[in-house]
Every structure is written in structure tokens, then in C-alpha cells.
């Protein structure tokens, strides 16, 4: 299928062509017709599936058809998202797909002075992308009215819950017109998120792409069992591979991220950290430096990294195993996006064995162990979970360089999707 077959208007098709998009991803193929028909949508999809384009394209088309003549601009669309980084990226997507339309959009978030954001709002916009805190602040000051809202998008609802924003989300929803189209996206559906979806959606169509407990088929995974004290040396050893031109490294804590960066600098590896204690300018500068190749390694905590979308990111390294197994799926989903290949490497020390066991249970996979490295673990009883029998899994020896890990051959996996 092509985007043309989804009845996308010419100005948007031209923009998609300029971005190099030819064929819609599964979520775009399913969601776009539903949204163009004006229906509510419940989307269960991981990041990297092309989710942003799945809602941005039909929103742009709907607004263009409804408001061809705009003497006065009022906010018609609100996209609520948990992090500043993700809000900025969604705004960039609207700019790309809507470049040939006369619609105006902007992004607001906290951590920076509100003056410039207020000035843009006062000039009038059609589409607002916002984080909950700054949105509520500007609403309370009278700078934002949602009385003319037609479409509401709640993105990454599960992360809203994780970050403690769910009450802010409910406050925003209470201010919305009852007659509206609502789009609700979440990678996982815990009970509280399901309840929230039930309260704000009206007879929604459900689209589910890649269950949150599964990892992308295109990601080669491996694990190194290593003593905690040797993780620094193991990371430096792995990064000696010149094929790793850029790597996203995950730690559990902000302090841990800063320490890894400090250690990498000592090893003459260019790196920066991105986490909640960094200023917005520092976070954006680090992300920009990473995207443009000025640094080789970006070290991140989970909350800061959600929504980071870096084209052609080849490697994700779990320096520390996450306590929540679903977080592992989200972490490694930074690579292998929208059909591209990627490599995910994990370091597991003795204290993290149970957390890794939970990951194996969740994903129903047996992740290959890499033993041939200079820092083998001293602890015994490595984690083994019997995987489901699958004759199509082939184990290869060298997962770091990209030739290792499980390679699955399944119908449809070879289908080519453009990166989003």
C-alpha cells in the first residue's frame, strides 16, 4: 500500500515524498482511515512504529478541509505529551508533513521562560503540542482557551502515569469540550490507563501494533554477565569497535548517567548525559550534538530518553538492567525503528539477575549470552529461562558488531517500511 491509496491530499503527499516516505507502516495504514472518518481511536503501539505520522497526517488533512479560510485562529487541536523532547519532535513532524499547508502550530513546555511561547499563542495557532505542567500554567493565566477544540491527542499515556502526570491530564480533560474527536495512545495498558481511556473515548476503534511485551524483530539482542565493578571497562572495551558510530547508553539514575559520561571522557570517548536534572537547553544541546555526530555516546535515564528519535541509531546499551521489564522493551525500541535493523546489548551483574529474569519472562525470548570478553562475571547461576520452541531462531556468535544474536525469519518481516 502507498500513502496515495489512503486518500491523502496532494500537499501532504508532496511533503511525505520530500521526507522520503513511500509506504505507510502498519499503524499508519490502520489508523489514518479511522481518523479521517472522525472516529475516536485507542492506539496500543510502541515508539518507533510510525505513531506520530499516524495521527499527524490525518489531523493536518482534517483541519485543512474544515478551515480553508482562517481569519481568526483558535486552538483546534491539542496534543498532550509527557516530555519536552517528545513534544519538540512532534512539533517538528507537524512542520515537516504540513509544510505545504497554511496551518499554524507551536509547542509549549516548562523549564524555559514562557514569554516567547505566550507571544506565539497570542498571534493565533491551529495546533498546540504541550506538556501538562506548562499547559495548565498558561491556561490558569488566561493565555490558552480550549473552547474551540475539535481534536484531542493524549500521547504516551502510560508514561504520563509513570511520571506522576495523570492528575494533571485529568485536569486538562475536564477543560475540554465534550464534543470532540479523541486519540489515545499508550505502549502499555495498565489498569489505571485503561480506566482513563474508558472515560475519555467514545466508541473508539482500537489499533494494536506490536504488543508492548515484544521486541522488534529487527533488533539483535545479547547480554554480557559482568561484575558491577567491571562494567566501566566492559563499556570501553565494546566501544573500541569502530562500527559503533553512535550508541545510546541507559542507566537507572541521573548520578549514574553523569558518572558514565565522566568515565567515558577519561577514555577519550565523546559523550554527554541527558536526564531530569539537566536544563532544557542542556538536554536539547546534548540531543542535537548526538544527532549531528558531534558526540558518539548519549547516556540517558529512562524518563529523559522516552521520545528520543534518532535516525539510524545502531546501538542501545543497557549499562544497568531496568527494574521494570516493560522499560527494557521501550529502551531497545530506540533502535530497530520502523523496520530498520539495530543492536541491543545488556550488562547484567549479580544483583540484577532477577530483573533480567523478569525481562526474559515478559518477552518470551532467550537472549544470547556473550562469554568471549575480557571481563567475565565471577558469580554463578546465570539467568536461564526456557524460551518458546522456535526452529526459526538462529544464534550467531558476535552480537556487538551486528552479526550476532537471534535472527528470526517470519512471514512479513522483510516488508520495507520507511523510518518515521
CATH of the domain at 40: 3.40.50.300
Last residue in a domain, options 209, 236, 263: 209
Answer yes or no: are the C-beta atoms of 34 and 199 closer than 8 Å.
no
Radius of gyration of the chain (CA): 22
CA distance 216 to 48: 9
Shared domain check, 224 and 205: no
Is 419 inside a domain boundary?
Answer: no
- The whole-number pLDDT of residue 66 equals 86
Distance CA 5, CA 15 (A): 16
Task: Say yes or no: 203 and 54 in one domain.
Answer: yes
Residue tagged 547508553 (cell numbers): 249
In this structure, are 136 and 267 located in the same domain?
no
> Which residue range(s) make up the domain with 266?
219-408
Predicted local distance difference test score (pLDDT) of residue 323: 81
Q: Does some domain include residue 414?
A: no
Residues 227 and 196 in one domain: no
Q: Quote the number of domains for the chain.
A: 2
Domain boundary among 188, 209, 230: 209
pLDDT, averaged across the chain: 84
- Cα 9 to chain centroid distance, Å, stands at 27
Quote the pTM value. 0.60
The answer to whether position 9 is within a domain reads yes
Show contacts of 210-214: CB within 8 Å, 24+ apart.
210/45, 210/46, 210/49, 211/44, 212/44, 212/46, 212/187, 212/188, 212/326, 212/329, 213/326, 213/329, 213/362, 213/363, 213/364, 214/329, 214/363, 214/364
243 and 189 in one domain?
A: no
Residue 294 within any structural domain of the chain: yes
Is 418 a domain residue? no
Half-sphere exposure of 229 (CA within 13 A, CB side): 2
pLDDT number for residue 47: 63
- Same domain for 18 and 165, yes or no, is yes
Shared-domain flag, residues 202 and 252: no
pLDDT computed for residue 390 by the predictor: 39
pLDDT at residue 393 in the model? 32
Instruction: Using CB atoms within 10 Å of the CB of residue 157, give its burial: 0 to 12 exposed, 13 to 18 middle, 19+ buried.
Output: buried
Burial of 268 (0-12, 13-18, 19+ CB in 10 A): exposed
**Residue 415 covered by a domain:** no
- Inside any domain, residue 348: yes
* Tens digit of each residue's pLDDT (9 = 90 or more) over 236-289: 999 999 999 999 999 988 889 999 999 999 999 999 998 867 776 788 889 889
Residues 269 and 188 in one domain: no
Q: Judge if 69 and 141 occupy the same domain.
A: yes
Q: Do residues 202 and 270 both lie within one domain?
A: no
Does residue 133 sit in the same domain as residue 250?
no
Whole-number Å distance between alpha carbons of 140 and 161: 23
Q: Is residue 214 part of a domain?
A: no
In this prediction, the residues of the chain whose per-residue pLDDT falls under 70 are 46-48, 68-72, 210-216, 276, 280, 303-307, 311, 337-340, 380-420
Residue 171 sits in the same domain as residue 279: no
Pick from 177, 209, 241: which residue ends a domain? 209
Amino acid at each position: 500500500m502507498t500513502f496515495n491509496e489512503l486518500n491523502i491530499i496532494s500537499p501532504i503527499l508532496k511533503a511525505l515524498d520530500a521526507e522520503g516516505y513511500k509506504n505507510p507502516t502498519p499503524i499508519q495504514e490502520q489508523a489514518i482511515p479511522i481518523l479521517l472518518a472522525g472516529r475516536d481511536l485507542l492506539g496500543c503501539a510502541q515508539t518507533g512504529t510510525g505513531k506520530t505520522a499516524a495521527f499527524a497526517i490525518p489531523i493536518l488533512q482534517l483541519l485543512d478541509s474544515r478551515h480553508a479560510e482562517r481569519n481568526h485562529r483558535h486552538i483546534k487541536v491539542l496534543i498532550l505529551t509527557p516530555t519536552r523532547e517528545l513534544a519538540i519532535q512532534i512539533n517538528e513532524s507537524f512542520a515537516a508533513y504540513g509544510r505545504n499547508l497554511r496551518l499554524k502550530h507551536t509547542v509549549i513546555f516548562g523549564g524555559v521562560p514562557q514569554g516567547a511561547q505566550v507571544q506565539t499563542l497570542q498571534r493565533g495557532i491551529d495546533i498546540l503540542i504541550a506538556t501538562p505542567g506548562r499547559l495548565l500554567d498558561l491556561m490558569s493565566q488566561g493565555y490558552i482557551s480550549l473552547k474551540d477544540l475539535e481534536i484531542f491527542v493524549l500521547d504516551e499515556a502510560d508514561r504520563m502515569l509513570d511520571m506522576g502526570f495523570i492528575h494533571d491530564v485529568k485536569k486538562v480533560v475536564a477543560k475540554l469540550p465534550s464534543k470532540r474527536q479523541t486519540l489515545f495512545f499508550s505502549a502499555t495498558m495498565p489498569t489505571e490507563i485503561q480506566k482513563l481511556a474508558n472515560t475519555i473515548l467514545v466508541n473508539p476503534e482500537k489499533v494494536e501494533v506490536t504488543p508492548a511485551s515484544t521486541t522488534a524483530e529487527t533488533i539483535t539482542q545479547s547480554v554480557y554477565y559482568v561484575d558491577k565493578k567491571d562494567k566501566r571497562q566492559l563499556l570501553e572495551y565494546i566501544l573500541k569497535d569502530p562500527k559503533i558510530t553512535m550508541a545510546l547508553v541507559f542507566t537507572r539514575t541521573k548520578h549514574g548517567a553523569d558518572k558514565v559520561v565522566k568515565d567515558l571522557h577519561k577514555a577519550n570517548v565523546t559523550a554527554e548525559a541527558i536526564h531530569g536534572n539537566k536544563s532544557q537547553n542542556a538536554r536539547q544541546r546534548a540531543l542535537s550534538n548526538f544527532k549531528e555526530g558531534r558526540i558518539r555516546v548519549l547516556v540517558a535515564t529512562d524518563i529523559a530518553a522516552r521520545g528520543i528519535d534518532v535516525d539510524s541509531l545502531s546501538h542501545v546499551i543497557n549499562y544497568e538492567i531496568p527494574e521494570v521489564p516493560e522499560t527494557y522493551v521501550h529502551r531497545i525500541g530506540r533502535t530497530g525503528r520502523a523496520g530498520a535493523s539495530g543492536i541491543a546489548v545488556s550488562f547484567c551483574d549479580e544483583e540484577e539477575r532477577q530483573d533480567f529474569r523478569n525481562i526474559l519472562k515478559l518477552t518470551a525470548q532467550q537472549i544470547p549470552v556473550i562469554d568471549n570478553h575480557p571481563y567475565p562475571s565471577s558469580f554463578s547461576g546465570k539467568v536461564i529461562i526456557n524460551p518458546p520452541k522456535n526452529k526459526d531462531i538462529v544464534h550467531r556468535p558476535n552480537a556487538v558488531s551486528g552479526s550476532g544474536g537471534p535472527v528470526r525469519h517470519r512471514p512479513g518481516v522483510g516488508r520495507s517500511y520507511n523510518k518515521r
